């Protein structure tokens, strides 16, 4: 086994994997194979948990750590623990997901280990001992390939931008790990707050119905919610609609919001500014409804309708309800 290792870190807590975590594991597995390296997964959980057993199907080794502080999502404890394992294992790459915790510790982890970091990665590959990452730049108007030569390369990847991992011929080794208590946390996690949400996460949604400033107010979004229920979809919105208080900020999609990659993204009364398009660039299909025939969204969508959404959403919902009975 080569001394160069690819470590995939996932902060998933629970009994099952979501699609974003499955893609994260796939990215690490493929990179490890390309580097002829060992694929190690670090996870919070007991060695006998179903989650750990599932992870072992696509890893060479799973380090399972039972810790209340890790479960609570304490950034410093996660940072100290991963850095300690990284110091011992000396990996070429450490790959994290796109959750807030991972985004926070990625640059700090790279600094701690003397490596390099970058975020919002859409593709990655090896070039000798270096890591080549692909990501959007200039608000999604261009794509850049960046070579990280410092070791380890610490990156967080965009949700659903990577294919899931393949099952190994034999499950990987499962070992118990420990929180590094030699480095005391200098902060205390006082409280966490999670907004109540129905259905799956936006990042995992296969169909998304989204509205923008052109909706005109909070009441019309009720029609989009009703349409989403018929489609078994999730709702989202542009930053403008969220900033105006029409919908929760947890709905925000775009450069400063969530990055999504559904099978279908229905953009209603959204102009299609580059900041918004950056958040939906990985969508398999984009459909748009807008009264402005020159709206930028029509340059990016596969299906477009120049019409007032008020004339479309009601009949569309009724027809789909009839077809999807």
Tens digit of pLDDT for each residue in 30-63?
A: 998 888 888 999 988 888 888 888 889 989 999 9
* Region of residue 232 (phi > 0: left; psi between -120 and 50: alpha; otherwise: beta): left
Q: What CATH homologous superfamily does 5-177 map to?
A: HUPs (3.40.50.620)
Q: Which of 296, 303, 291, 305 is nearest to 141 (CA)?
A: 296
As a whole number of angstroms, the distance between CA 30 and CA 45 comes to 24
Q: With cut-offs at 50, 70 and 90, classify the pLDDT of residue 281.
A: confident
**Average pLDDT taken over every residue of the chain:** 87
Q: Identify the residue with better confidence: 169 or 252.
A: 252
Q: What percent of the chain has pLDDT over 70?
A: 92
The one-character DSSP state at 91 is -
Q: What is the pLDDT of residues 110-149, one digit of tens each?
A: 999 999 999 989 889 988 878 999 988 876 678 899 999 9
Where does the chain hold its CATH 3.40.50.620 domain(s)? Answer: 5-177
pLDDT(250) > 80: yes
Q: What topology does CATH give the domain 202-323?
A: Rossmann fold (3.40.50)
Q: Please tell me the predicted confidence (pLDDT) of residue 22.
A: 83
The residue among 183, 195, 185, 261 whose CA lies nearest residue 23 is 261
Q: Is the pLDDT of residue 275 over 90?
A: no
pLDDT band at 14 (very low <50, low <70, confident <90, very high): very low
Among residues 109, 95, 90, the alpha carbon closest in space to that of 31 is found at 95
- The sheet carrying 93-96 orders its strands as 116-121, 153-157, 93-96, 5-9, 38-44, 61-65, 173-177
Distance between CA atoms of residues 307 and 44, nearest Å: 50
Percent of the chain scoring above 90 in pLDDT: 48
pLDDT greater than 50 at residue 90: yes
What's phi and psi for 273, nearest 5 deg?
A: -60, 155
CA dihedral (42, 91, 110, 154) in degrees, to 10, reads -70
Torsion of CA 163, 38, 101, 207, to 10 degrees: 10
Cis peptide before 114 (omega within 30 of 0): no
Query: Rounded to two decimals, what is the model's pTM?
Result: 0.78
Could you give the angle at which helices 221-231 and 313-323 cross, rounded to 10 degrees? 20
- Tell me what pLDDT residue 68 has: 82
């Amino acid at each position: 086994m080569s001394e160069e290792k690819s470590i995939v870190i996932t902060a998933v807590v629970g009994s099952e994997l979501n699609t974003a975590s499955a893609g994260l594991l796939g990215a690490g597995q493929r990179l490890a194979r390309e580097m002829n390296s060992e694929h190690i997964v670090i996870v919070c959980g007991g060695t006998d948990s179903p989650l750990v057993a599932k992870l072992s199907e696509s890893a060479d080794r799973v380090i399972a750590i039972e810790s209340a502080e890790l479960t609570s999502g304490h950034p410093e404890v996660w940072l100290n623990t991963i850095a300690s394992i990284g110091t011992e294992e000396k990996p070429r790459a450490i790959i994290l997901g796109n959750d807030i915790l991972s985004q926070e510790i990625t640059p700090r982890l790279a600094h701690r280990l003397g490596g390099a970091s970058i975020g919002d990665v859409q593709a990655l590959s090896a070039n000798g001992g270096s890591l080549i990452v692909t990501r959007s730049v200039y608000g999604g108007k261009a794509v850049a390939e960046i070579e990280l030569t410092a070791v380890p390369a610490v990156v967080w990847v965009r949700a659903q931008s990577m294919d899931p991992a393949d099952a190994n011929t034999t499950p990987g080794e499962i070992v118990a790990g420990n929180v590094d208590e030699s480095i005391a946390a200098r902060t205390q996690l006082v409280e966490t707050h999670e907004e109540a949400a129905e259905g799956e996460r936006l990042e995992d949604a296969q169909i998304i119905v989204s509205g923008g400033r052109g909706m005109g107010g909070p009441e019309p979004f009720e029609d989009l919610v009703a349409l989403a229920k018929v489609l078994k979809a999730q709702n989202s919105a542009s930053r403008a609609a969220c900033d105006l208080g029409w919908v929760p900020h947890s709905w925000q999609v775009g450069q400063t919001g969530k990055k999504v990659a559904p099978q279908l993204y229905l953009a209603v009364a959204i102009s299609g500014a580059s900041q918004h398009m950056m958040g939906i660039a990985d969508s398999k299909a984009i459909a748009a409804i807008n009264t402005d025939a020159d709206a930028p969204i029509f340059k990016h969508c596969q299906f477009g309708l120049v019409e007032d959404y008020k004339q479309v959403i009601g009949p569309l919902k009724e027809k789909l309800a009839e077809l999807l009975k």
